[in-house]
Amino acid sequence: MKLIPCLKHDGSYLLFIKQDKNETKFFCEQQFLISKLNLSTSLQEIFTNLYQYDENTVNNLLIDFQTQFSNIEKALKIVYKELEQHSKSILEIKLKIRNELKKIIKFDQFQQFSVNLEQLGDSINIQAIEQNEKNLHEYLQELTKNNCQELNLKLIDVLERIQREPKNLNEEQYPQCRKLQNYFKSFNLNQQSLAQYDNLLNIVQCSTKYDGELLSSNQLCKIINYIQSKLNKKVKTFQQIYFGTKDGLNGKVFWNKVNEKSNLLMIFKSKSGFIFGGFSPCQWQQSLNNYVKDNTWSSFLFSQTHDQIYPLKGDAFYCNLQYGPTFGGDFYKGSHDIYIDKNFQEGYSNLGTAYQCDQYQIVNTSTHLFGQVIPRIEECEIYQVIYV
């Protein structure tokens, strides 16, 4: 029996069948092996997206770009000729208006006043100047009589007459310009496809730095990009220092893991399934019993559930051995953006206290992050960000 090549994976063949409730698909050995591996959610997401960009898809995308470049290049040359012709028409109309205007204001008569004075030469005298001034005044009086109403009517008549003259309709509608615009629209669509492909490569690079379960590949990339842009440092990897369900979801273990450490990314999952967290470059100190200021202003909170990032506007976090993870806060109000008790079940959120969230017009800031009033944390991952 002849083997059927897999069009998505060069050198592989369709050897397996996968049946789901809604569809049945042929699988090659690569897809079959990946489906059997116990991969993290983010890696599964990456491989799923990568399947969409097989060699044929990418090559066809490049061919489309090449064709569109050629079409745009040809269209630009034609558009230039079209604009050149239109420019010529505009100059011709301008000349017509100018000539008509000269007739209306009797411009030749006006020029004659200067000629008369020049012809007098050395014999020029006061009487001759006064006579020319008188003639010029009469000329202007006639031209501007009735508050220039007659002059205005004549000018409007000239413009309307020129506008009524037969025109080339194609020239008026710029057919080549519109055609070029359509080429650019098509080019932009392909550019979006290429941007998605580039974003996927970026996601692949980001995902090699993180081996957790909670963050999606897209959220991971946003967090990495945000940290790098704020601190002007390149993230090398995320070193896991705490895994709640493995190490224990309690304040004692939490502080043993994070004490005296900085550049920590904390990720939480509530009972409602909401995923959120925060990052700060500042050091966590269990004996501080005070708020921590971030002079770099690079600390932030995020909600993966809502796809939102909340920049710092006040104190970064609060250190107290009797507390669990606590972000933001106001000393006078006694409130925090995120307060998780040392049992990781009790607590509250008052988002907007020290982290900016007005830009999202959040309806209920107390349940927005948790999906409920109290945290009820089911999982927590904490990583120390390592830079190049």
152-167 tens-digit pLDDT: 888 888 888 877 877 6
Tokens of residue 381, six digits? 């991952």
Residues 362, 344: one domain?
Answer: yes
Q: What is the mean pLDDT of residues 48-76?
A: 72
Measured CA to CA, the distance from residue 274 to residue 276 in angstroms comes to: 7
Residues 248, 375: one domain?
Answer: yes
pLDDT at 146 over 90: no
Express each pLDDT in 162-202 by its tens digit: 778 776 655 555 666 677 677 666 666 555 655 555 555 55
What are the backbone angles phi and psi of residue 240, rounded to the nearest 5°?
-70, 130
Residues 246, 375: one domain?
Answer: yes
pLDDT at 33 over 70: no
CB burial class (10 A; 0-12, 13-18, 19+) of residue 288?
A: middle
Residues 120, 255: one domain?
Answer: no
Tokens of residue 5, six digits? 């090549």
Mean pLDDT of the chain: 83
Calculated CA dihedral for residues 366, 369, 373, 378, nearest 10 degrees: -160
Residues 229, 378: one domain?
Answer: yes
Residue 193 lies in a domain: no
pLDDT computed for residue 363 by the predictor: 93
The dihedral through the CA atoms of 103, 104, 106, 111 has a sign that is: negative
Residues 231, 380: one domain?
Answer: yes
Cross-strand pairs, 27: 16
Q: Which domain holds residue 21?
A: 14-56
Residues 226, 360: one domain?
Answer: yes
Q: What is the pTM of this model?
A: 0.57
Conformation bin of residue 347: beta by default, left when phi > 0, alpha when psi is -120 to 50 = left
pLDDT at 382 over 80: yes
The total number of residues shown for the chain amounts to 388
pLDDT at 264 over 80: yes
Residues 261, 167: one domain?
Answer: no
Residue 191 lies in a domain: no
Express each pLDDT in 315-356 by its tens digit: 999 999 999 999 999 877 789 999 999 999 999 999 999 999
Express each pLDDT in 98-132 by its tens digit: 888 888 888 888 888 778 777 777 777 888 788 88
In the chain, how many domains are there?
3
Express each pLDDT in 202-211 by its tens digit: 555 666 678 8
Residue 205 lies in a domain: no
Residues 109, 31: one domain?
Answer: no
pLDDT at 19 over 70: no
